[in-house]
Structure 1
Amino acid sequence: MGTPNILLTRIDNRLIHGQVGMTWTNTLGANLVVVANDEVAEDDVQQNLMDMVLPDTAQSRYFTIEKTIRIIEKAAPRQKILLVVRTPQDALRLVEGGVPIKEINVGNIHFAEGKKQISPTVSLDEKDIETFKKLNELGVELEVRGIPNESGFDLMSKI
């Protein structure tokens, strides 16, 4: 089985949107954006909206978490993948399912009542913190960074 060429895995609860989709895709040189999300996999309207903000140089795929786990290893080496998920929990499901994720870019996790804000764009509740601790134990590097040209920091240093 081949190892998929995953350039970056990003957690963003808006998934692909506006400049962010464009900026990360271009900076990484990704030519395939895989959105692993159970709801969006079934939702053409959301898929079309996301496609609109991706550069022409990148293709997109919208898979459920299960399907991503099942088929990502079939990706060709020339497919340079930006993998995007909505939640830390989905990221953990991918890692536990055997997707070779070494590093996660923690982009946007919205603030809500009872969450601890660790950066302007990332707020975590107990469940998120527990999930990130598990990912950390599994050897995944966790970097908080909204856009490519800002300096990031290690998520574990803040929780």
Structure 2
Amino acid sequence: MIVALRVDERLIHGQVAMTWTKALKLDGLVVANDEAANNEIQKMSLKMAVPQEIKCIIKTVESAIQLLNDPRAQKMRLMVLVTTVKDAVTICERFQDIEQF
């Protein structure tokens, strides 16, 4: 279940990793960003910022949409992070359980 969708060019940083994960009781963070998904150094850096008990998934926007539409994702409390409003709109338009928002 998507608990929050955040547009932030920094993607994962201290406030997201430490405050939002606890306040929203998140199970995982989904970074939907084509550039980050294709850059191993950036993926490693982003994952290092996340508390160990929180799952961190970094996918292209298209792959993230597929993941979010998977019924198994409905069992997890997720925050989706994107860098642009365009990507946020794309995810919202293609997310099958739109009533959740």
* TM-score range for the pair, normalised by the shorter chain length: 0.7 to 0.9
1:77 counterpart residue number: 74
- Give the match for residue 61 of structure 1: 57
TM-score for both structures, normalised by structure 1: 0.57
**1 or 2, which has the higher strand percentage?**
1
Q: Distance in 1 between matches of 2:69 and 2:94?
A: 12
Instruction: Select the structure that is richer in helix.
Output: 2
Aligned to 2:45: 49
Q: TM-score normalised to the size of structure 2?
A: 0.86
Whose Rg is larger?
1
Shift in Å, 1:85:
0.6
| Cα distance in 1 between the residues matched to 2:95 and 2:79 | 17
What whole-Å deviation, never above 9, does each CA across 1:99-136 have from its counterpart, x for those lacking one?
A: 5362xxxxxxxxxxxxxxxxxxxxxxxxxxxxxxxxxx
1:28 aligns with 2:29: no
2: CA distance, partners of 1:78 / 1:97: 19
Which amino acid in the other structure matches residue 82 of structure 2? V
Is the contact made by 1:19 and 1:53 (CA closer than 8 Å) also made in structure 2? no
- RMSD of Structure 2 on Structure 1 (CA): 1.6
Preserved CA contact (<8 Å) 2:68 2:95: no
The residue aligned with 2:88 is 91
Runs of 5+ unmatched residues, structure 2: none
* Aligned counterpart in structure 2 of residue 11 of structure 1, from 1, 7, 10: 7
Cα distance per residue 1:30-73 (max 9 Å; x no partner): 11110000100111111111111111120111111111122212
Identity %: 35
Gaps of 5+ in 1: 103-159
